Amino acid sequence: MKAKIAEEGVLIPKEMLEGMPGEEVEIRKEPGRLLVLPAEDPIRTGVRDGSINHDRYLYDARSSTTDKAKTPEEKPPARKSGAE
């Protein structure tokens, strides 16, 4: 299919999006082409605070920390050292 590029851009006919899951798409520009992909829902990750701490899950996942507690409420109580 060919489409004329109007002042507003290009309209993609809904028929061409049949079979695309969800109600949103992600449009990516790559050298020499545009990609129309199903939009991913990063909140549906099975993590209850994914919408609040999504940056931490996306970017801190690459770090190799041993403390996996994500919020202060989830951290274990600090151990007391020495005699009291």
Tokens 């109600």: give the residue: 23
Question: Tell me: the pLDDT tens digits for 30-75?
Answer: 999 999 998 876 556 676 776 677 777 777 765 545 455 555 555 5
Cα separation of 34 and 84, whole Å? 67
Distance, in Å, from the CA atom of 30 to the CA atom of 24, rounded to the nearest integer, reads 19
What residue segments make up the domains of the chain, in order of their start? 22-63
Residue 57's pLDDT is 73
**What is the pTM for the complete model shown?**
0.44
pLDDT given at position 66: 46
Give per-residue pLDDT as tens, 4-21.
999 999 999 999 999 888
